[in-house]
Amino acid sequence: MKTDIFIAGSGCSGLYCALKLPADKQILVISKSDLESNDSYLAQGGMCMLRDEDDYDAYFEDTLKAGHYENDRKSVEIMIRSSHDVVDDLLEYGVDFEREEDGSLAFTKEGAHSAKRVLYYEDITGKEITSKLLAEAKRRENITLMEYTTVVDIIEKDGRCVGAVIRTKDGGLETVEAEDVVLACGGIGGLYEHSTNYRHLTGDAIAIAIKHGIECKDMDYVQIHPTTLYAEGEGRSFLISESVRGEGAHLYNKDMERFADELMPRDRLTNAIHEQMEEDGTDYVWEDMRTIPEEEIKSHFPNIAAKCMEMGYDVTKECIPVVPAQHYFMGGIKVDHESRTSMDGLYAIGETACNGVHGKNRLASNSLLESLVFAGRAARDIMEKSENDNDLSGLPEVDMTAYEDAQALSEEYSRLVLDEIKRQAEERKKNVR
Ligand SMILES: Cc1cc2nc3c(=O)[nH]c(=O)nc-3n(C[C@H](O)[C@H](O)[C@H](O)COP(=O)(O)OP(=O)(O)OC[C@H]3O[C@@H](n4cnc5c(N)ncnc54)[C@H](O)[C@@H]3O)c2cc1C
């Protein structure tokens, strides 16, 4: 197969990148599962936006404070400054955000935010955004979408990325030659027993990068979300969004006493919950949504309330058990401010990439925005560069037998990622000492 640009991943970052590329480029977007099964669809709380200039310093500071001041400040600045352009694009693609009575955009607040600056749509913001991106991508004649298709490797020629190896729906292996390759394969939650992520998100792109000696950064920065619905033996953990606490929900220990500031940054609240569970000898703590007016629950959190009801809890009448679970990956394939990896012709965007914007810990609702902003920048860089660098001059020979055993390959890739997380964690500990 041949295409101008190959994008692995149909989440918000992959789709937005495809949409921001010019119509005269042939773009192939693949997805390991169906086109809708990605974490972008799961985002509940919302997406940050710089409301006005007066909020710039506070938004910047909140992002840095949550990230333990380890953030790449230029990335943060780019993200915040680009938020209006991204929101304008989304509105153009038909994305609906909640509005005030006067028609202006409505904002909510989440943990560790000092102001209301989160755009939202009920408690399914990610689905609202990503389904509209997908609908737009389906309308574009230059974009081809392939589901149940997995990237199993990239192809290198003279140190440049010139294509990829994919496993198609029927299990066959194919090579794809491309001018540029974009990895948008999401997070790593599928490697953890308890995670809010889709199970098929196993950091494949990161494993491929490690295998090719492409730099990866902050691999040990894995975010645990403080509040997911406790359920025995469930697959994917169901998230109880931070905005639920932002709107006033309380957390209680086994004696129904509050034990922490519910709006602390995620890592600190997670620690507080773990300590409380240990002290109480329980597998969960309680979250009380009865502190939120019933009308607000109905309009803002209908899907969370419905899921809890399905699991046997009426959030308007009783507390729900919640427990921390793996949620987000701050680390990933190291990229610059244009989403370029350390290999020529290869870009990484979204949760797979690490441009340092989140530092050690992501501020709530920054990841949809970050994914879109830096996906747009990758598209722009590809466009600017491709005028003098668009030669599809044939692939080197690829030994396809290396990819035949899908199970063995998947195990090898999981091991590569987990080992690298461990290695970087140990290295950091040594450097701190
Ligand atoms: C429950 C939940 C709630 C969240 N809430 C919010 C929120 O309110 N606000 C916010 O900003 N962020 C939130 N996030 C985080 C945010 O949704 C994600 O970080 C973001 O959507 C990631 O987008 P992405 O495009 O990088 O990846 P994804 O949307 O996860 O897409 C990854 C894509 O890569 C594909 N893929 C994976 N491996 C391969 C492979 N080997 N070959 C081909 N394709 C592959 C997948 O099939 C999928 O299409 C939430 C996350 C979760 C899980």
**pLDDT one-digit tens code per residue, 77-130:** 999 999 999 999 999 999 999 999 999 999 998 888 999 999 999 999 999 999
The alpha carbon of 366 and the centre of ligand 1 are apart by a number of angstroms equal to 13
Give Cα 430 distance to the centre of its chain. Answer: 29
Q: Is the pLDDT of residue 310 over 90?
A: yes
Same domain, 43 and 167: yes
Nearest residue by C-alpha to atom 21 in ligand 1: 40
43 CB near ligand 1 (under 6 Å):
yes
Question: How large a percentage of the chain has pLDDT more than 90?
Answer: 92
Segment 167-188 mean pLDDT: 98
Q: Is the pLDDT of residue 234 over 70?
A: no
Pocket test for ligand 1, best of 6, 37, 38, 403 (most atoms within 8 A of CB): 38
Please report how many Cα atoms fall inside a 13 Å half-sphere around the Cα of residue 378, on the Cβ side: 35
Same domain, 271 and 351: no
We report the CATH number of the domain holding residue 314 as 3.90.700.10
Q: How confident is the model at residue 265 (pLDDT cuts 50, 70, 90)?
A: confident
The alpha carbon of 278 and the centre of ligand 1 are apart by a number of angstroms equal to 31
Same domain, 239 and 192: no
Q: Is the pLDDT of residue 391 over 70?
A: no
Same domain, 305 and 167: no
Nearest residue by C-alpha to atom 33 in ligand 1: 9
Same domain, 124 and 258: no
Number of residues assigned to the chain:
433
Nearest residue by C-alpha to atom 26 in ligand 1: 350
47 CB near ligand 1 (under 6 Å):
yes
Nearest residue by C-alpha to atom 10 in ligand 1: 365
Pocket test for ligand 1, best of 40, 204, 301, 414 (most atoms within 8 A of CB): 40
Q: Is the pLDDT of residue 390 over 60?
A: no
197 CB near ligand 1 (under 6 Å):
yes
Which of 336, 294, 338, 333 has its CA nearest to residue 315?
Answer: 294
Q: Is the pLDDT of residue 388 over 70?
A: no
Q: Which of 4-13, 134-143, 164-173, 191-200 has the lowest mean pLDDT?
A: 191-200
What are the Cα distances from residue 168, in Å, to 3, 10, 106, 165? Answer: 16, 15, 42, 10
The alpha carbon of 256 and the centre of ligand 1 are apart by a number of angstroms equal to 35
**Can you tell me which atom of ligand 1 is nearest the CA of 327?**
53
Pick from 308, 326, 344: which residue ends a domain? 326
Give the span between the Cα atoms of 198 and 63, in whole angstroms.
Answer: 26
Q: What's the CA dihedral at 136, 142, 148, 153 to 10 degrees?
A: -130
137 CB near ligand 1 (under 6 Å):
no
Count up the domains in the chain and report the number: 2
**Could you say which of 117, 167, 245, 266 is catalytic?**
266
Is 266 in the active site?
yes
Q: Which residues contact 409 (CB under 8 A, 6 or more apart)?
A: 152, 402, 403
Q: Is the pLDDT of residue 387 over 80?
A: no
> What pLDDT is attached to residue 194?
85
Same domain, 120 and 107: yes
The alpha carbon of 313 and the centre of ligand 1 are apart by a number of angstroms equal to 28
Give the burial string for 125-157 (b: 16+ CB within 10 Å, else e): bbbbbbbbbbebbeeeebbebbeebbbbbbbbe
Q: Is the distance from CB of 382 to CB of 339 less than 8 angstroms?
A: no
The alpha carbon of 294 and the centre of ligand 1 are apart by a number of angstroms equal to 30
8 CB near ligand 1 (under 6 Å):
yes
**Can you tell me which atom of ligand 1 is nearest the CA of 239?**
1
Q: Is the distance from CB of 399 to CB of 186 less than 8 angstroms?
A: no
We report the CATH number of the domain holding residue 81 as 3.50.50.60
Same domain, 209 and 111: yes
- Number of CB atoms found within 10 A of residue 210's CB: 20
Please, what is the average pLDDT of the chain?
95
> What pLDDT is attached to residue 30?
98
> What pLDDT is attached to residue 223?
93
Give the span between the Cα atoms of 297 and 291, in whole angstroms.
Answer: 10
Strands 150-157 and 160-167: antiparallel
Pick from 304, 326, 348: which residue ends a domain? 326
Q: Which of 205-214, 240-249, 315-324, 341-350 has the lowest mean pLDDT?
A: 240-249
Q: Which residues contact 293 (CB under 8 A, 6 or more apart)?
A: none
- The SS3 of residue 285 is strand
What residues make up the domain containing 109? 2-221+330-432
- pLDDT tens-digit map of 7-28: 999 999 999 999 999 999 999 9
> What pLDDT is attached to residue 19?
98
Q: What's the CA dihedral at 354, 356, 358, 359 to 10 degrees?
A: 120
Same domain, 339 and 369: yes
Segment 343-363 mean pLDDT: 97
Same domain, 187 and 275: no
**Can you tell me which atom of ligand 1 is nearest the CA of 110?**
8
Segment 293-317 mean pLDDT: 95
> What pLDDT is attached to residue 103?
97
The alpha carbon of 180 and the centre of ligand 1 are apart by a number of angstroms equal to 21
The alpha carbon of 270 and the centre of ligand 1 are apart by a number of angstroms equal to 21
Segment 265-277 mean pLDDT: 93
Same domain, 342 and 301: no
Pick from 301, 326, 351: which residue ends a domain? 326
Same domain, 60 and 186: yes
Identify any residues that bridge with 144 across adjacent strands, giving them in sequence order.
Answer: 28
Same domain, 132 and 7: yes
Give the span between the Cα atoms of 242 and 219, in whole angstroms.
Answer: 24
- pLDDT tens-digit map of 35-45: 999 999 999 88
Which of 397, 422, 246, 245 has its CA nearest to residue 322?
Answer: 245
**Can you tell me which atom of ligand 1 is nearest the CA of 242?**
8
40 CB near ligand 1 (under 6 Å):
yes
